[in-house]
Structure 1
Amino acid sequence: MSTDIGLDLGTASILVYIKGKGVVLKEPAVVAFDRDTEKIKAIGEEARLMVGRTPGNIVALRPLHEGVIADYSVTEQMIRYFIQKAIGKRSYRKPRINVCVPSGATDVQRKAVMDATYQAGARSVVIVDESMAAAIGAGLDIMRPCGNMIVDIGGGTTDIAVVSLGGVVESSSIKVAGNDFDEAIVKYMRKKHNLLIGDRTAEEVKIQIGNCYRRNDDKKMEVRGRNLVTGLPKSIIITSEETEEALRDVTTQVIEAIHEVLEKTPPELSADIAHRGIVMTGGGSLLQGLEELIEAKLGINTLIAEEPMTAVAIGTGRYTEFFSPKESLTIN
């Protein structure tokens, strides 16, 4: 029996959706590679634990950068590993796979994703725009003649689109997302506290106390790193108010991109968006206060989808329920 799979190839995480089962796998898009033997040592969560802690011959890398393939052969092996882990050895036929890519991906980048998925063992491949997948996964009625705005903030890219009648009316894809939030925290800690921290620590700060809209309840967290003056280990206490300052420039870029898409949107659809609001998906949408910040800056009701982390994977898997494969990039 053949399996229908939806594959969310994210910069930070890989999610696998199987028709009839839902999202069955979610693991970090990290591969541990041995330079001496040129072999893969670990993939997924096991490899993520090695980030920043490997000897010289082993490098923990992310083969996907800003939503597209940066290392083709490693990506192919990673896709094969996740597909086999999700479906096991029970399938007698190669699976049919829908794969999502950022809206701003070029034809060459889309072809690379398609080829890698075929090499990983797919029978047929359908390439799905991330913004359309997010809209389907968020439960928006995309086939009706009314405007829906979706903002998907992933690890490498933020995809913004206005969807109506089963098509994208206006869209934008910017290379500012969750990883840039982490990077902004690393830069802030270096500049303000002379403390060098790693990406994993920055991510923990973002999740625990990260905030981009001022509140009365100020959270605190102890952060450990290396003192850039003495070179010795050091720990300090930082507050959520400081993270608001650290993230200000990055969140402003996201809001400006949403504003630009709204400016290009036809007036009838703008009226629909003003009435229905903006729907957010992706891990980046869970940043504390982002919802309120967009509302305050744009004056439009903003809400987070019911399952923001898995919305794109669900939408990718369900894409062929709304559109026939002939209407998308597919090779049999």
Structure 2
Amino acid sequence: MHFDVGKGKTVKAVDGISFHIKEGETFGLVGESGCGKSTTGRVLMHLYEPTEGEVTYRGINIHNLNDREAFQYKRKIQMIFQDPYASLNPRLTVRDIMLEPMEIHDLYGGRRARLEKADELLEAVGLHRSFANRYPHEFSGGQRQRIGIARALTLEPEFIIADEPISALDVSVQAQVVNLLKTLQKEKGLTFLFIAHDLSMVKHISDRIGVMYLGHMAEITDSARLYKEPLHPYTQALLSAIPIPDPDIEDKRKRIILKGELPSPIDPPSGCVFRTRCPAAMDICAAQKPELKEADKGHFVACHLYDGDVGKEADGMKVTLQAR
């Protein structure tokens, strides 16, 4: 997904990533701000038309759908937005916010059934049905995010894109929202794309995790393996920043500090986009872009450290970079 910003310049917000999400799982997508996580979610939601490539849902390319098919697709795919203060219409009551998508898609057979469904969903996310008569400004941030979750469930979706749904909330409320999402997933058989930058929270909710850097996918594997044995130097640096609630371990642990600033997506580095900040960068990193390859069963990484003979030569670097 590239954006023309004028004067012949292009922002490569998402640049050649590829991954799949299994039915019923939560796929976490993490990375620094500006790495392309939210843009990826909006492309999947059909809010952006991709510059190149395709998005397939149950084997069908969603960007080849006609208007009627796209309308039905958007019922199956819903989004929970990052900002609970900006994503709700301040002029509508909670009841009207809930009814609007049901009326657009003509669901549940009439207004009385829709009202009952709205009340059921409010209670499902831990809010009393009497709250339906209130306006968004009367609620706290955590309550607003629960309303946003309830609204996403009104169309009985199969797949929900959660775009940093907890980043604007207090820590205690974050845990409540994440536990709510896990409960709803179990009850309704939902599939989630969970976009976030809080790695500790992503570990708690995700089955598999993809790590993005400057529009590229750096690493993909299951949650437990990523935290136990990260392969990409960028992933290792990210995980080394997570505090451990044990002062003895935390005091002895080595922190990996990345040097330099995040490059501009308008003019990214040649070859590996992480090479300008990577402590293990080699000559090949500037000349050749690494491909996302399976380094171990189910563990994919885009790094020349794991390319055959090149990886053997740099094996010592891999050991010293590990964050424990």
- Identify, as 1 or 2, the structure richer in strand: 1
Normalising by structure 1, report the TM-score: 0.22
